[in-house]
Amino acid sequence: MTAEKVSFSSGDLVVYPTHGVGKITAIEIQEIAGHTLSVIVVLFDKDRMTLRVPLAKAKVSGLRKLSSRKEMDAALAKLRGRSRAKRTMWSRRAQEYQAKISSGDPASIAEVVRDLFRNVGQPEQSYSERQIYQAALDRLVREFAAVERIDETTAVQRVEQLLSAA
């Protein structure tokens, strides 16, 4: 095993692009279909899910450590900008938003939150817009809360304050 591959250790908080923030519970050696593999066991409390990522595929799969404070601040700065929602068909925009959320990049997720945020007095969102907005907000808030070491409720309030101030 190279030093690069063992950059994760038990107890680390990590981000998996399609599932968000999880905690490494163990790095195990398992036998799967006759092959011996080292796997990173990641627990996602919120989803009650455990994921096993082969150590060799961790980087390719997008598994990464939490964002730094600087990266999170840059992502949150995007919330202050103006919404850049394009006037293309909703189905196309929805696909783009889902791709940004699944990328796991906090800056991209913040763009989705900014574009779909509705302030008081703005027109209602459709069901699918609310679903995508909530998914993006949850993903952003979980990582923000983990980086700042605060609870998710406080993180939601701080993110919504930034959005309302924009």
How far apart CA 166 and CA 151 sit, in angstroms, is: 23
Kindly report the average pLDDT of the chain as a whole number: 88
The two three-digit tokens of residue 163, written as one number: 């959005």
Residue scoring higher pLDDT (12 or 121): 12
- 3-class state of residue 131 by DSSP: helix
CA–CA distance, 58 with 165 (Å, rounded to integer): 38
How many other C-beta atoms lie within 10 A of the C-beta of residue 30?
Answer: 12
Question: Tokens standing for 111?
Answer: 């763009």
% of the chain exceeding 90 in pLDDT: 56
Distance CA 94, CA 112 (A): 10
> What are the structural domains, with CATH classification, of the chain?
13-65 (2.40.10.170), 69-165 (1.20.58.1290)
Residue 119: predicted pLDDT: 73
Confidence (pTM):
0.85
Residue 51's closest CA among 101, 86, 8?
8
For residue 125, what pLDDT is reported? 83
Across the beta sheet with 49-54, the strand order is 49-54, 35-44, 20-32, 13-16, 64-65
**If pLDDT is split at 50, 70 and 90, which confidence band does 120 have?**
low
pLDDT band at 83, cuts 50/70/90? confident
82 or 145: which leads in pLDDT? 145
pLDDT in tens, 25-52: 999 998 888 889 899 999 998 888 999 9
Token pair listed for 107: 């800056």
Query: Is the pLDDT assigned to residue 9 strictly greater than 90?
Result: no
